[in-house]
Structure 1
Amino acid sequence: LINFVGGIQNVNAFIKDLGIDQIQLIETEKSMEQDIRKSYNNWSTPLSVAQLLRKVYTEKVLSDEYFAFLEKAMLASASGKDKFRAGFPKEVEVGHKTGMSYRTLEGIRMCDADVGVIYMPGGEKCYLAVLVKDSKESDAENAKIMADIAKKVYEHYTENSAKAAAPGK
């Protein structure tokens, strides 16, 4: 996909043009495979990733065709069932993309992530990004951290929605 849009530089510039400056993408899967330390050259804050995703969903950032493709692919994602997906009730739809870096020779997972859109009851969407950096934990523990955060976000949302809908509120 990166080659389809003209290279990683074009992806990085596109994101910057959207007004999101806390994301840097300069390495490709190929360059990171050749030297895993180059993974650190690609970085972001979780907030910036969530803002990017929100822009894609709420602004006309992509053509209708490309947006439909992206949304369908994220909703159909089979990866990371132990990450965000594990934190939500089964009936909640989640469109997400997981990612995982290499482990260093010292056993450190440089990055483990899940980023997505939670289709909340009532039709609202929640944009969530969890990025775990330099983890010495097992992959299962990293996934549990993401699932626990997703669960807390969902519980907070549903509790506040119920309070807001209560009579007299």
Structure 2
Amino acid sequence: MATEVRLVREGVSLYEDDRLLDKGKLIIKESSVDWEGENRQFSLEYQNICLHAVSSTPYGGDENAKFPHPHVYLMVEGDRVWSNGETIPPNGDTGMEIDNGESSDDEQGDYPQDDNPPTYSLRFLPTDEHDLQPIYDAIAECQALNPDPDDMSDGDFEDVAEENENGVEENGLDQFDPDDFAYD
């Protein structure tokens, strides 16, 4: 399946949290956000991008104090496809925790089904600050083309409404007499 490229920017720096990972080319496609760097290459599907934003005001808050450069921020859920086998805990954890003898399989995506997958913070820092908004806009447009199949569709809402209508009668809730309740 061919996918249309919406935006390409070269000379972009890639950070995970506040750690520089690579420099290279950011490619925004209709189907994915791709990275072709000096040391790594990967593709992020839009369903794995929980949040994206532009941070254009350095020193504007606690999060910016940690990363004081204007950038495009992505919160990514799931496997660290950009990792090159590196072991870095999720959410910028320093790894200074007590080892309880259990192994973590987050790197391979083997997390329990009832747990939420880990999330990671990626930051794209273009050489030209004026590229921030076009990068954000391209990601927003392409993400809208790729809705998350786990999200409820309009048909799902209609099914829930229909179940509620039927459920009220089946549960006997329609048999309550309003005169049985005291009002203040």
Same fold (TM over 0.5): no
More contact order relative to length (CA 8 Å, sep ≥ 6):
2
Specify the TM-score bucket, using the shorter chain as the normaliser.
under 0.3
Larger Rg: 2
With normalisation by structure 1, the TM-score equals: 0.27
With normalisation by structure 2, the TM-score equals: 0.25
More helix by share: 1
